[in-house]
Structure 1
Amino acid sequence: MESLHRWTDSGSIFTLEHFRQQPPREFKPDDLLERQAVRESNARSYPRRIPLALKEAHGLYVLDTRGQVFMDCLAGAGTLALGHNHPVTIDAMRATLDSGLPLHTLDLTTPVKDAFVEALFAALPPAFAAQARIQFCGPTGADGIEAALKLAKIATGRKGIFCFSGGYHGMTQGALSLMGNLGPKQLPGSLMADVQVLPYPYDYRCPFNIGGEASIDVGLSYIEQLLTDPESGVLPPAAVVVEVVQGEGGVIPAPARWLQGVRKLTQQHGVALIIDEVQTGLGRTGRMFAFEHAGIEPDILVLSKAIGGGLPLSVMVYREALDLWKPGAHAGTFRGNQMAMAAGTATLRYIQEQGLASHAEAMGERLMTQLRQIQRDYPCIGQVRGRGLMVGVEVVSTAAQGARVAPADGVMAKAIQQQCLREGVIIELGGRHGAVVRFLPPLTIQAAEIDLLVEKFQFALGKACLDSELRG
Structure 2
Amino acid sequence: MRIFEQLESKVRGYVRSFPVIFESSKGATMTDETGREYIDFFAGAGTLNYGHNNQAINDALMAYLQKDGVVHGLDMATTAKKEFLTKFSETILEPRNMEYKVQFTGPTGTNSVESAIKLARMIKGRSNIVAFTNAYHGLTMGSLAITGNTFYRDEAHISRSNVSFLPFDGYMDDQFDSLAYFRKLLEDGSSGLDLPSAVIVETIQAEGGINVASVEWLRGLAQLCYEFDILLIIDDIQVGNGRSGDFFSFEEAGIKPDMVTLSKSIGAGLPLALLLIRSDLDQWKPGEHTGTFRGNNLAFVASTEALAYWDTLELSNAVRHKSDILKAELEKIAEKYPSLHADVRGRGLIYGLEVKELGLSSQISERCFENGLIIELAGADDQVIKFLPPLIIDEEKLLKGIAIVDQSIGEILEERKERMSGEMSL
Do they superpose with TM above 0.5?
Answer: yes
Q: How far has the Cα of 1:471 moved from its partner?
A: 4.2
Calculate percent identity across the aligned residue pairs: 37
Q: Counterpart in 2 of 1:19?
A: none
Q: 1:63 aligns with which of 27, 31, 47?
A: 31
Separation in 2 of the partners of 1:352 and 1:466? 48
Q: Counterpart in 2 of 1:395?
A: 355
Is the partner of 1:191 in helix, strand or coil?
coil
Q: Counterpart in 2 of 1:21?
A: none
The 5 Å alignment of 1:203-282 reads: 206-207=171-172, 210-211=173-174, 214-215=175-176, 218-282=177-241
Q: Counterpart in 2 of 1:181?
A: 149
Q: Counterpart in 1 of 2:76?
A: 108
Separation in 2 of the partners of 1:365 and 1:129? 29
* Compared CA separation, residues 274 and 123, structure 1 to 2 (3 A): farther
Q: 1:348 aligns with which of 289, 307, 310?
A: 307
Instruction: Letter of the 1:116 partner, please give it.
Output: F
Instruction: Letter of the 1:385 partner, please give it.
Output: R
* Compared CA separation, residues 430 and 152, structure 1 to 2 (3 A): same
Q: Counterpart in 1 of 2:342?
A: 382
Separation in 2 of the partners of 1:189 and 1:391? 32
Q: Is the 8 A contact 1:282 1:357 kept in 2?
A: no
Separation in 2 of the partners of 1:168 and 1:285? 18
Separation in 2 of the partners of 1:358 and 1:330? 38
Separation in 2 of the partners of 1:41 and 1:122? 43
Separation in 1 of the partners of 2:40 and 2:113? 27
Q: Counterpart in 1 of 2:374?
A: 426
Residue 357 of structure 1 pairs with residue 316 of structure 2: yes
Q: Which has the higher contact order (CA 8 A, sep 6+)?
A: 2
Residue 72 of structure 1 pairs with residue 40 of structure 2: yes
Is the partner of 2:294 in helix, strand or coil?
helix
Separation in 1 of the partners of 2:90 and 2:388? 25
* Compared CA separation, residues 109 and 192, structure 1 to 2 (3 A): farther
Aligned residue pairs, count: 419
Instruction: Letter of the 2:392 partner, please give it.
Output: T
RMSD: 1.5
124-133 vs 349-358, which moves further: 124-133
Q: Is the 8 A contact 1:123 1:288 kept in 2?
A: no
Q: Counterpart in 2 of 1:13?
A: none
Separation in 2 of the partners of 1:352 and 1:391? 26
Q: Which runs of 4+ in 1 moved over 4 A?
A: 127-130
Q: Is the 8 A contact 1:177 1:195 kept in 2?
A: yes
Q: Deviations over 1:396-441 (max 9, x none)?
A: 13xxxxxxxxxxx2x1101100111111000000112101000111
Q: How far has the Cα of 1:98 moved from its partner?
A: 1.7
Instruction: Letter of the 2:390 partner, please give it.
Output: P
Q: How far has the Cα of 1:124 moved from its partner?
A: 3.5
Is the partner of 1:188 in helix, strand or coil?
helix
- Normalising by structure 1, report the TM-score: 0.86
Q: How far has the Cα of 1:128 moved from its partner?
A: 6.7
Q: Counterpart in 2 of 1:35?
A: 3
Residue 82 of structure 1 pairs with residue 50 of structure 2: yes
Q: How far has the Cα of 1:446 moved from its partner?
A: 1.6
What residue ranges of structure 2 are gaps of 5+ in the alignment?
A: 421-426
Separation in 2 of the partners of 1:71 and 1:248? 21
Q: Counterpart in 2 of 1:122?
A: 90
Q: How far has the Cα of 1:468 moved from its partner?
A: 3.0
Q: How far has the Cα of 1:192 moved from its partner?
A: 4.9
Instruction: Letter of the 1:99 partner, please give it.
Output: K
Q: 1:337 aligns with which of 296, 306, 315?
A: 296
Q: 1:458 aligns with which of 386, 406, 412?
A: 406
Is the partner of 2:57 in helix, strand or coil?
helix
Q: How far has the Cα of 1:223 moved from its partner?
A: 1.1
Instruction: Letter of the 1:268 partner, please give it.
Output: E
Separation in 2 of the partners of 1:129 and 1:334? 30
Q: How far has the Cα of 1:87 moved from its partner?
A: 0.6
Separation in 1 of the partners of 2:383 and 2:240? 24
Q: Counterpart in 1 of 2:423?
A: none
Q: Is the 8 A contact 1:174 1:192 kept in 2?
A: no
Q: How far has the Cα of 1:265 moved from its partner?
A: 0.5
Is the partner of 2:49 in helix, strand or coil?
coil
Is the partner of 2:337 in helix, strand or coil?
coil
Q: 2:128 aligns with which of 149, 160, 165?
A: 160
The 5 Å alignment of 1:273-292 reads: 273-292=232-251
Q: How far has the Cα of 1:262 moved from its partner?
A: 0.5
- Normalising by structure 2, report the TM-score: 0.95
Q: 1:308 aligns with which of 262, 267, 270?
A: 267
Q: How far has the Cα of 1:117 moved from its partner?
A: 1.3
96-105 vs 77-86, which moves further: 96-105
Instruction: Letter of the 2:286 partner, please give it.
Output: P
Q: Counterpart in 1 of 2:360?
A: 412
Residue 296 of structure 1 pairs with residue 288 of structure 2: no
Q: 2:388 aligns with which of 431, 440, 455?
A: 440
Q: Is the 8 A contact 1:360 1:388 kept in 2?
A: yes
Q: How far has the Cα of 1:339 moved from its partner?
A: 0.3
Q: Deviations over 1:236-276 (max 9, x none)?
A: 11110000100101111111111000000001111110100
* Compared CA separation, residues 351 and 441, structure 1 to 2 (3 A): farther
What residue ranges of structure 1 are gaps of 5+ in the alignment?
A: 1-32, 398-408
Residue 322 of structure 1 pairs with residue 293 of structure 2: no
The 5 Å alignment of 1:182-201 reads: 182-201=150-169
